[in-house]
Amino acid sequence: MPDASPLRSHAEGVAITVWVVPGARRSEITGLHGDALRMRIAAPPERGRANREAIKILRRTFATDVRLMAGAVSRRKRFLLRGMSEAEAGEIVDRLRR
């Protein structure tokens, strides 16, 4: 993986940095934003709705349990992909870049 990888090893799996753009027409992962995975979210950033939508998309994309680690009220967030290795997550991120 290049130096600008959104992934970091974690004791419980792998941490992924995500740049969230709330209030979009539809929820989707759109590539990279610097060293973060860029994600558009249809839900508004109110009462945690955008965070819950982001978790749902990450669960579907990475097929694993996801937990918000940092950035609850920020566009830049860090999530934990539980039980997943950095190599496994890296393969999925590489596919998303194409």
Residue 38 tokens, joined: 């860029």
Domain harbouring 80, CATH code: 3.30.1200.10
* pLDDT for residue 29: 95
* pLDDT for residue 3: 53
* pLDDT for residue 4: 80
Residues 6+ positions from 86 with CB-CB distance below 8 Å = 1, 7, 8, 9, 14
Which domain does 92 fall in, by range? 7-97
pLDDT per residue rounded down to tens, the chain (98 residues) = 445 889 999 999 999 999 999 989 999 999 999 899 999 999 988 999 999 999 999 999 999 999 999 999 999 999 999 999 999 999 999 998 76
Q: Is residue 1 part of a domain?
A: no
* pLDDT for residue 1: 42
Q: Is residue 2 part of a domain?
A: no
* pLDDT for residue 14: 97
Q: What domain count does the chain have?
A: 1
